[in-house]
């Protein structure tokens, strides 16, 4: 058995119990958490996420975000800085600068802003095979 972690989508590997911002919920102010965060509602403020950030289709985040890894399927307006892998789903609409070590973008995603991949690896483009959260 390989010691390497299987190559699965980040959305499948959230790990520990996440903090959840539900649909029809709005949070105004900065958010900081050591673990994973799942957003289906609205956030107006900056975020510092120590784990995996998941922004669902119905979510809208206005503010700067830094996270270990992230899966974005909703709307994000602001600078996004990801230490490891960033996955952008087909339904995503991103307005702002993106900085990530590894970047995967589904066909259909809309991105308006500068994109920097810090690992030097090419951007992975993929066809979404299932509906994003």
Residue 129 lies in a domain: no
Helices and strands (H and E) in the chain: how many: 0, 15
The answer as to whether 9 is a domain residue is no
The residue range of the domain holding 51 is 15-121
User: What per-residue confidence (pLDDT) applies to 15?
Assistant: 56
Decide if 2 is inside a domain: no
At 130 the pLDDT is 64
**Does 5 map to a domain?**
no
Q: To 10 degrees, the CA torsion angle through 86, 13, 28, 91?
A: 50
Look at residue 34 in the predicted model and tell me its pLDDT.
93
Regions in the chain scoring below 50 on pLDDT? 1-5, 132-133
Domain assignment present for 52: yes
Contact call for residues 51 and 33 (beta carbons, < 8 A): yes
> How confident is the model at residue 2, as a pLDDT?
42
Residue 1 lies in a domain: no
Expressed in percent and rounded to 5, the helix, strand and coil fractions of the chain are: 0, 50, 45
pLDDT at 18: 84
Q: How many domains are contained in the chain?
A: 1
The reply to whether 7 falls in a domain is no
pLDDT at 17: 79
Distance CA 96, CA 115 (A): 9
Give the 3-state secondary structure of residue 121.
Answer: coil
| pLDDT for the residue numbered 16 | 64
Specify if 76 maps to a domain: yes
């Amino acid at each position: 058995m390989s010691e390497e972690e299987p190559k699965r989508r980040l959305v499948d590997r959230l790990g520990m119990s996440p903090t959840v911002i539900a649909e029809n919920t709005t949070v105004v102010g900065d958010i900081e958490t050591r673990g994973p965060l799942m957003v289906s509602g609205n956030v107006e403020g900056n975020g510092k996420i120590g784990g995996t950030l998941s922004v669902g289709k119905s979510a809208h985040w206005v503010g700067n975000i830094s996270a270990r890894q992230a899966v974005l399927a909703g709307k994000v307006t602001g600078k996004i800085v990801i230490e490891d892998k960033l996955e952008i789903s087909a339904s995503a609409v991103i307005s702002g600068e993106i900085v990530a070590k590894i970047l995967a973008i589904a066909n259909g995603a809309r991105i308006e802003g500068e994109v920097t991949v810090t690992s030097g690896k090419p951007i992975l483009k993929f066809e979404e095979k299932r509906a994003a959260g």
